[in-house]
Amino acid sequence: MAEKTDFLFTSESVTEGHPDKVCDQISDTILDSLLAVDPESRVACEALVTRGLGLVAGEITSRAQIDIPSLVRQVIREVGYTKSEYGFHCCESAVLTAVQKQSADIALGVDAGGAGDQGLMFGYACDETREKMPLPITLAHALARRLAEVRKKGIVPYLRPDGKSQVTVRYRDGRPCEVICVVLAAQHDPGLKQSRIKADLTEKVIDRALPASLRSRDMKIFVNPTGSFVIGGPQGDTGVTGRKIIVDTYGGFSSHGGGCFSGKDPTKVDRSASYMARYLAKNIVAARLCRRCEIQLAYVIGKPQPVSIYLNTFGTGRVDEARILRLIRDEFDLSPRAIIKTLDLRKPRYRPTACYGHFGRTEASFTWERTDQAEKFRTLA
């Protein structure tokens, strides 16, 4: 079947006050705190938040001693849940912990340098944006970031921490050409007219975050379509670590292996191999060997090298895919230990990844976003 070239595609993002994202931030803050003391920490940390309660569970083996309840409250405070009327408060909510050591059976494989679990991971890159990311998720993140910014700076003083964005892009001949629909869901104080909220967020969020050159002439804008979004955050919806994996990656534009990233130390290939696959795909696109590239890596627990490597350039390649695969196999060690060393993953750098995507970022700590291997791939061209 021929690949579609004319279509609509939609991606979404969420703010750091979304309950699932609160949990991702809690999990990665705990991970960072452990790695700061003991870089060899083994961490698989999950969080759950609901009205008046935060729960942390998982498996942790580390020489570090940390105060998990204090870290949980710190995250909740920094996100913005600091008022009792939000139904979830950094000081008034209970915090429970249920943490044990990593399974000795899992440790057998990791200690030997193998993967901590079986699984399949994907990385993707394309030339649609400067960040080598699909345009829909890039714009969705920009809107969600701006929505959080106007709240935290008091530009729109009645906003509360929870929020979502959604962007629909029209593609022609396989290339993005215009935005036809934008959706914002913004938690707010009671007693406000929807018309005011829509006017404020159109002016201060959409007009600032969405370039005019990308908008269709009849672009639709929906702001809080039900008319009210007062009850939100953990008061309105229970949050759990790892439920926003499509927001974390490519907005649904690429395949996903199913495993989440947050709360997992880099011996977990769910995280580290996904970062490595993105690193390879981005460098291949940066080398202009293709316009789109997807890479799958698959591992077996306890074994260091992937059992399979799959590469797809979707018919956009300038070089035979077999040649690119051969270079990857010859030049890159894809064992967990080598990935950790290549991308310098044992440092506490994970809290920032928990919001607005793990990919397409410019911060120096996002080492998997470097394009320092593009010249190596360029030799194939």
Annotated binding site for L-methionine: 59, 102, 237, 268
pLDDT at 285 over 50: yes
pLDDT at position 107: 73
Amino acid at 296: Q
CATH topology identical between 7-14+134-223 and 119-127+249-260+267-379:
yes
Q: Average the pLDDT over 226-248 and give the result.
A: 95
Q: Give the Cα separation of 31 and 351 in Å (integer).
A: 8
pLDDT in the model for residue 2: 54
Q: Which two tokens stand for residue 215?
A: 């908008």
Binding residues are 18, 20, 46, 59, 102, 162-164, 237, 243-244, 264, 268
Per-residue pLDDT, 44: 96
Tens digit of pLDDT for each residue in 290-348?
999 999 999 998 899 999 999 999 999 999 999 999 999 999 999 999 999 999 999 99
pLDDT tier at 1 (50, 70, 90 boundaries)? very low
pLDDT value at position 26?
98
Structure tokens at 61: 């083996």
Q: Sort residue 280 into left (φ over 0), alpha (ψ -120 to 50) or beta.
A: alpha
Annotated binding site for K(+): 46
In the CATH hierarchy, which top-level class contains the domain 19-103? alpha beta
pLDDT, one tens digit per residue, over 49-92 is 999 999 999 999 999 999 999 999 999 999 999 999 998 999 99
Residues in the chain: 381
CATH class belonging to 7-14+134-223: alpha beta
Distance CA 354, CA 147 (A): 17
Residues making up the binding site for Mg(2+) = 20
pLDDT, the chain, mean: 95
pTM equals 0.95
Instruction: Tell me the CATH number for domain 119-127+249-260+267-379.
Output: 3.30.300.10
pLDDT at 114: 77
Residues with Cβ within 8 Å of residue 227, at least 6 apart in sequence: 194
Would you list the domain boundaries of the chain? Answer: 7-14+134-223, 19-103, 119-127+249-260+267-379
pLDDT computed for residue 209 by the predictor: 97
Is the pLDDT confidence value at 265 over 90?
yes
| pLDDT band with cut points at 50, 70 and 90 for residue 105 | confident
Where is the binding site for ATP, in residues?
18, 162-164, 237, 243-244, 264
pLDDT at 190: 96
Mean pLDDT, residues 204-233 taken together: 96
Instruction: With CA atoms as reference, report the closest residue to 20 among 354, 357, 337, 365.
Output: 354
Q: What's 5's DSSP letter? A: -
